[in-house]
Structure 1
């Protein structure tokens, strides 16, 4: 049986206290120092602190805070400090946070290696480990409650999937407020590898990004598929070589482009594993994966075919309904949505006595078991790997006094998906100024990924013959 991730991390810290755990903007933090900081956070929040809100930023303090809350028996709830204040407060309230702990308050001291050997209190595996939010149709984000057994099981599985070793150096790229960051942080620190955190990874400059990867001798990257699409385009156009130490590139969050995959294969990449992944917040990080290119890949998919999402990982149960919906079960399942019993009952179901999550994704299984994704059964979309329900944006736009009716749809521009809104103004509104008014209105209410890239002012919304809003027609009207 696998150790819990906390036991695994503390075991590494006790066995190899001098090994580098994190490099943050050039500063090296040893495992002993990280373990000491983790215990310090646990002492500061106190035993069984309940749900602790954390303004999560790209810093070792956030990592130590997360682990420290878990050591104390609490529930970690990251909240992006860049979100509008109203949104942050709503998330803290909805999650039931008793307190907020700022990672800037983590005490860092010269490590006493004996600290890492303190006894760890036994904690029920069904106790919530963290609460993350997904987009909801009511205008409010839905709090997903994930138990310890789910994250423990998944992290152990991902260590095997990524074939991580003590020699790996993993770049921490994802926002600390999304679960992809757990894929980077937790498998790394539970095997004794090195996590690299650096502000240059987030400048938006591909040359600086690649120079950082080379300078820090990064071996593993975990990237949103949309970012990888843009990176491949840059590599092809500027004939920039990939850094020599890179051995594994993980992508996920939305469908991979067959054309970009062909471009990647045409580069000097045969030695690099390109791993496509799939998962939902409610099923804990990654549930399906498959090598698209590199040492462990099979044949490259046809350039005009859909890129597969892979096979279920060993800890995952799957069931495909008659409608083709992928449902996922096993120890990776979340407990449900906090305070939303009806939403929980709607998305979590039982089949032959086994609990499953309805992903809303339509899939088809190939003869070898590999899954091909065929779109959504509902209106949810992915914006740079973040699940978004357009109805949430519609609720916020409809609250503006100059809006009579609104519809929001996902549109594909180049290799990424963005939101487009279609707004019918009220008679008193100034259509020429409404676009700017609505953008300013949303900036004070929702995070950036929920702000449409295009807002079109129209006389009326198109409808299908059955009376539903014709979103496909709206997409075709966009330039």
Structure 2
């Protein structure tokens, strides 16, 4: 077998391919690759990448859409000592072009056609040997930032998940995540680093919420990573029950017990895990097994993964809603920092890598339960000012999510009028307008100016609610 360098993920997959060459590795809509075939493709990509003559650590873009090409292209680039940035060809060109322009990769690998070409970038980034990938933040809270992920951190998380979920050769793992979102590595590497089967959903499934549950059942998926608001869309396809899923791992947004109960009605045999961790800390740093009797409310994110720690640091005096404390995370498996030129001085001050430990000051507010579990109760930057009074828009969302009629909620402040508008998925317009009276009792002065029913909530590539998209949607409705 060809030598593949020092990337721990590549070495793991290579060992599995040597031991199980005839096992199924990747399943697409029209193609199946066994581990031996996958490894041949990895080596072919490695040779093409080496032929470019780029220095080790060079940043390259890997563009992918449908098909089974992404795993081999990613692993081949890593085997050649390059650092991949995954791009999703199914997303709007403007976003993809903006990310590529900010990243300045030395080359572009097109996973689905196996094309590769230099970009001509005069000074592309060359990253340290520990770097394993670059991902851009979702942009939920502003301009996306380039995050330099650690190769060893990927494998550390995947090995924890393999042990925690009892994943073994042949386990079927779904890949429903956009390649542009870092959660894709949970899908991609959990399967391939355990000898499992990676089932890749094409865009006709990924971009059609009503098709997802049927696809999960057809493929007999056993492990699924999901975002709460996106999975709420999947549940709109009534009548479909999926009995194969053993583990559902939610992340990326607050998880409420009411959604867990709805999910278990459609996926009755699943265990549910709530994960938490910004992209700066590598995939996830906290986990909580959600019990059957979890109640309706906000679920904890639980305990740190091995080697990690959390501090809750006061950032101001206690206010209306209690003591405000910033969640600060320390982990040896976190990122190496931000890609130069993609972040502010304040961002740099909040993310440090020293003595083998990444320390990240999040923008999240947290508290510990009596049992020692972390609860993420909102964001420090979610307070907006309206008529001289601060309103926590994430608290508005949290309270609205407790109402039985509401399946998902996103609260925004409109720039044109400073109105605070709550967009809700589930009720009709008349019912939505009536919710405001109930919210006034629960929220007092923080009640939104309006509650608007929407047919669907705009989402970011990773499945989180897109606040900018919600503002644009509400502005269009107001203009109509």
TM score, norm. by length of structure 1: 0.71
Out of 201, 208, 214, the residue aligned to residue 211 of structure 1 is 214
Report the secondary structure of 1:52's partner residue: strand
Aligned mates of 2:475, 2:30 — CA distance in 1:
49
Matches within 5 A, 1:80-159: 80-106=88-114, 126-134=129-137, 140-159=143-162
1:282 offset after TM fit, Å? 0.3
1:306 offset after TM fit, Å? 2.1
Aligned partner of 1:316 in structure 2 is 308
Matches within 5 A, 1:162-201: 162-199=165-202, 201=205
Out of 3, 8, 11, the residue aligned to residue 4 of structure 1 is 8
Q: Do the aligned partners of residues 317 and 457 (structure 1) sit closer, same or farther apart at CA in structure 2, a change above 3 Å counting?
A: closer
Aligned partner of 2:247 in structure 1 is 248
1:218 offset after TM fit, Å? 1.2
CA RMSD, Structure 1 to Structure 2 (Å)? 3.6
Paired residues of 1:337 and 1:343 also in contact (CA < 8 A): no
Out of 266, 271, 274, the residue aligned to residue 272 of structure 2 is 274
Paired residues of 1:309 and 1:372 also in contact (CA < 8 A): yes
Paired residues of 2:228 and 2:259 also in contact (CA < 8 A): no
1:268 offset after TM fit, Å? 7.3
Alignment partner of 1:284 is 2:282? yes
Report the secondary structure of 2:78's partner residue: helix
Q: Do the aligned partners of residues 253 and 43 (structure 1) sit closer, same or farther apart at CA in structure 2, a change above 3 Å counting?
A: same
Aligned mates of 1:158, 1:357 — CA distance in 2:
22
Paired residues of 1:40 and 1:106 also in contact (CA < 8 A): no
Out of 292, 295, 315, the residue aligned to residue 302 of structure 1 is 295
Alignment partner of 1:17 is 2:18? no
TM score, norm. by length of structure 2: 0.71
Matches within 5 A, 1:436-451: 449=466, 451=468
Aligned mates of 2:189, 2:356 — CA distance in 1:
32
Paired residues of 1:126 and 1:147 also in contact (CA < 8 A): no
Structure 1: any 5+ residue segments left out of the alignment? 108-123, 294-298, 381-389, 391-408, 426-442, 459-476
Report the secondary structure of 2:33's partner residue: strand
Aligned mates of 2:105, 2:354 — CA distance in 1:
33
Paired residues of 1:173 and 1:202 also in contact (CA < 8 A): yes
Mean CA deviation greater in 259-268 or 25-34 = 259-268
Paired residues of 1:419 and 1:452 also in contact (CA < 8 A): no
Q: Do the aligned partners of residues 256 and 87 (structure 1) sit closer, same or farther apart at CA in structure 2, a change above 3 Å counting?
A: closer
Residue-by-residue CA offset, 1:355-400 (whole Å, 9 max, x unaligned): 41012111111233211121111249xxxxxxxxx9xxxxxxxxxx
Aligned partner of 1:202 in structure 2 is 206
Aligned partner of 1:222 in structure 2 is 225
Q: Do the aligned partners of residues 198 and 331 (structure 1) sit closer, same or farther apart at CA in structure 2, a change above 3 Å counting?
A: same
Q: Do the aligned partners of residues 174 and 457 (structure 1) sit closer, same or farther apart at CA in structure 2, a change above 3 Å counting?
A: closer
Paired residues of 2:273 and 2:290 also in contact (CA < 8 A): yes
Aligned mates of 1:136, 1:192 — CA distance in 2:
34
Paired residues of 1:419 and 1:454 also in contact (CA < 8 A): no
1:164 offset after TM fit, Å? 0.8
Aligned partner of 1:369 in structure 2 is 372
Aligned partner of 2:256 in structure 1 is 257
Out of 387, 399, 407, the residue aligned to residue 415 of structure 1 is 407
Aligned mates of 1:352, 1:189 — CA distance in 2:
31
Q: Do the aligned partners of residues 21 and 375 (structure 1) sit closer, same or farther apart at CA in structure 2, a change above 3 Å counting?
A: same
Paired residues of 1:229 and 1:257 also in contact (CA < 8 A): no
Aligned mates of 2:214, 2:356 — CA distance in 1:
52
Mean CA deviation greater in 218-227 or 254-263 = 254-263
Alignment partner of 1:66 is 2:70? no
Q: Do the aligned partners of residues 188 and 135 (structure 1) sit closer, same or farther apart at CA in structure 2, a change above 3 Å counting?
A: closer
Out of 28, 33, 36, the residue aligned to residue 32 of structure 1 is 36
Residue-by-residue CA offset, 1:418-448 (whole Å, 9 max, x unaligned): 47462439xxxxxxxxxxxxxxxxx9xx999
Residue-by-residue CA offset, 1:180-221 (whole Å, 9 max, x unaligned): 111011011011000111335325243x32332222221111
1:342 offset after TM fit, Å? 1.8
